[in-house]
A and B are shown apart, each in its own frame.
Chain A
Amino acid sequence: ETGVTQTPRHLVMGMTNKKSLKCEQHLGHNAMYWYKQSAKKPLELMFVYNFKEQTENNSVPSRFSPECPNSSHLFLHLHTLQPEDSALYLCASSQDGTNEKLFFGSGTQLSVL
């Protein structure tokens, strides 16, 4: 158990659906991240939150909307996704976002039909 919990583990949604991914960290960290892992491509950073404030948006389309209500919880709201958005979405946390060790959750495997 890494201390970073993601739900759901698997999600299948249609292009017109709205769904949310949830991440919770039990490590007392202050920085949280969303990464995307597509088949045959390297992991890509999507968003960074530090002390609940978004500090980085890596040119992510607006159909992905992050929310960080507190330092322990991170959401990724999804709407009108495309089939090419199907991927493993990974949440991570770190102590304070200064390039130190990251702790990852097990991910949500998303399929968009």
Chain B
Amino acid sequence: KQEVTQIPAALSVPEGENLVLNCSFTDSAIYNLQWFRQDPGKGLTSLLLIQSSQREQTSGRLNASLDKSSGRSTLYIAASQPGDSATYLCAVTRGGSQGNLIFGKGTKLSVKP
């Protein structure tokens, strides 16, 4: 059974710091991996999607890497800002399993001004 773990559960950093969020999964037979952002009481916003054949994806200050063989992904946030404060969720998709994303519990990030 696929399990997704995110460490740390919570993280507080001063503004301007570069930071890394970690995601690990137990079954390497994934179709893709997505990173989402969730603001309190809100839905999820997809940040980056990495196909299983890819190693990384970048969008602005965000960079996500994928090492399928070791079952790990990282989300790197450069020059963090207070507006980055949110919960970041990692999810993997099995091949042939429509919409069945397996989510981690998330990392709650707080960026202090």
Q: Which residues of A contact B (CB under 8 A)?
A: 2, 4, 6, 31, 33, 40-45, 48, 50, 55-56, 58, 88, 90, 92, 94, 97-107, 109
Who on chain A is nearest to B90 by CB? A42
Known: A41-B105, A42-B103, A109-B41. A102 touches B98 (CB 8 A): no
State whether A98 touches B46 (Cβ < 8 A).
Answer: no
Give how many B residues have a beta carbon under 8 Å from the other chain's beta carbons: 26
Q: Closest approach, in angstroms, between the C-beta of A91 and any C-beta of chain B?
A: 8
Between-chain CB contacts (< 8 Å), 28 pairs? A31-B98, A33-B99, A42-B102, A42-B103, A42-B104, A43-B89, A43-B103, A48-B98, A48-B100, A56-B99, A90-B43, A94-B99, A97-B98, A97-B99, A98-B98, A99-B31, A99-B95, A99-B97, A101-B46, A102-B34, A102-B44, A103-B46, A104-B43, A104-B44, A104-B45, A107-B41, A107-B43, A109-B41
Who on chain B is nearest to A50 by CB? B98
State whether A106 touches B46 (Cβ < 8 A).
Answer: no
State whether B49 touches A100 (Cβ < 8 A).
Answer: yes
B1 / chain A contacts, CB cutoff of 8 Å: none
State whether A99 touches B98 (Cβ < 8 A).
Answer: yes
